[in-house]
Amino acid sequence: MTEHNSYRKVLARIPRVMLYDDSLNRVDLLRRILKQLGSPDMTFPTIHICGTNGKGSTSTMIAQILQNEGYRVGLFTSPSLLDEREDIQYNRRMIAEDEFLAAYAILIRKMAELNLTQADISFFETWYLVAIIFFAQKHVDYAVIECGLGGELDATNATSNVKFAVFTKIALDHMKILGNTIEEIATAKSKIIKSDSMIVIDYPAQASVAHDIIAARAKEQHAKLWVDQDFEINLLSSGLTSNLIDVRLNGRWHRVLKFSLAGKYQIDNLATVLKWCSAFNASEPRKIKDSSILAMINSVTFPGRMEELSSRPTLVIDGAHNLNGIDALVKTLLAAIPNRKLTVLVGFLRDKQVALCVNRLLDLPQATFVVSTPDNPERAMSADELYHIFEENDKMQEDHALYNASSASAAVDYIRANADDQMIYVAMGSFYFINQVKMAWDSRGYQATQ
């Protein structure tokens, strides 16, 4: 059997179920497994990223800055776009299949010593544990680890030796699991703060109710809540796939920089990262240089976030899938392309606030909407259901148009049949939809930009 076949066979054995139960502390189970593995999480300091929106961008920026400084950096994020191995990266290179198999074999052997099998842990828990083993094997200097959907009961909260807890924007999402209010969600997420040696960095534009909960938890755990920030960011202009900004670092202005992540919300995420840099430089013996930050600003990319697949016609994919993310996307589109024709390809999971998301999307004037079905049979909202939600919304106007495409492939076929260089095409919603759009687009023989 080839290595690739062995890898695919292992993947098929891992149950793709969510084992998230507030009546059972699965974090303790994962800590037992980590201890049996020899506590690999203790061999490197961790930067733990938690929030609702912006975790992936924030994690990626921090990892890039550290790598620019010459550190060996592990990065664990989710969800992946095209390949699950994107979730586990070493110096921005995704884990190789043979590296995954080697780490996985160690995990299964050590779990057997505890009378545990693969059936006892979920897909996400498996990938988290493999990531920790792999990072220890690579002798990383720092690991940047993104929470899944929770905080207190999230698998990643099993990690010890957390040096920094970084919070991104907290908003309403996964309410069946985390709670129905910002207070409940912020409380769950704040529980990643659990050590007096930890430094806590909060999103500068955090809602006051969420910030107060994070601050109270930091005080309770005798952790240091970082408030100093020797930086300033001015947004000069917003484009569809990038921003132009001025940045002040350590008293010196750097003018008209192209920031490769688009949307005002990415300016707020950048502010979180710069705030973390201030905390890092105050607590670590080796300081982050301004040049490493500037290099990140110029070059950082994050697949699936305002990612341009083509320039003729213009096609962008974005993983805005909850109300807060869609609000940010609508604001970005209204600011970046106020007078351009717009077609939006949309696919949602049914456990989101779909009616509210549709209501916000209909604030885009004269837009054409092509509704589709994400590639997730258990959780996807069908194109027919989504079509009906659009149709029944009072904001649906004569200058809006609505089409039904049964799949992402059919949505891409719609673009091909109606290609217009004056039109902006945006595929958005669930990652289970936009990744299929990307694969269907690539399979049609289009280049990344043409």
The predicted model gives 257-271 an average pLDDT of 94
Chain segment 293-343, per-residue pLDDT in tens: 999 999 999 889 999 999 889 999 999 988 988 999 999 999 888 888 999
User: Sheet harboring 88-90: ordered strands across?
Assistant: 93-94, 88-90, 73-76, 142-146, 46-50, 162-167, 199-202, 224-225
Gap between the Cα atoms of 7 and 130, Å rounded: 13
**Confidence bin at 178 (pLDDT 50/70/90):** low
Taking only the tens place, the pLDDT of each residue in 186-210 is 999 999 998 877 999 999 999 999 9
Residue 98 pLDDT greater than 80, yes or no: yes
Write down all domains in the chain, each with its CATH number in brackets: 3-235+262-295 (3.40.1190.10), 307-443 (3.90.190.20)
Q: Count, in order, helices (H) and strands (E) of the chain.
A: 15, 17
At 207-249, the pLDDT tens digits run: 999 999 999 999 999 999 999 888 999 999 999 999 999 999 9
Cα distance between residue 263 and residue 307, in whole Å: 12
User: What is the pTM for the complete model shown?
Assistant: 0.92
Mean pLDDT for the stretch of residues 81-87: 93
Beta bridge partners of 243: 238, 259
Q: How far apart are CA 186 and CA 52, in angstroms?
A: 9
- pLDDT digits 0-9 by tens, 390-406: 999 999 988 899 999 99
Structure confidence at residue 447 (pLDDT): 46
- Nearest Cα neighbor of 231 from 200, 275, 261 is 275
The pLDDT value given to residue 378: 84
pLDDT on residue 175? 46
Task: Kindly report, residue by residue over 4-53, the tens digit of the pLDDT.
Answer: 899 999 999 998 876 655 555 799 999 999 999 999 999 999 999 999 98
Is the predicted pLDDT of residue 144 greater than 80, yes or no? yes
Q: What confidence score (pLDDT) does residue 25 get?
A: 78
**Does 172 score more than 80 pLDDT?**
no
110 pLDDT tier (thresholds 50, 70, 90): very high
Q: Which residues pair with 46 in a beta bridge?
A: 143, 162
Q: For a pLDDT cut of 70, what percent of the chain falls above it?
A: 95
HSE toward the beta carbon, residue 204, CA cutoff 13 A: 20
328-342 pLDDT, tens digit per residue, is 999 999 988 888 899
pLDDT band for position 448 (cuts 50, 70, 90)? very low
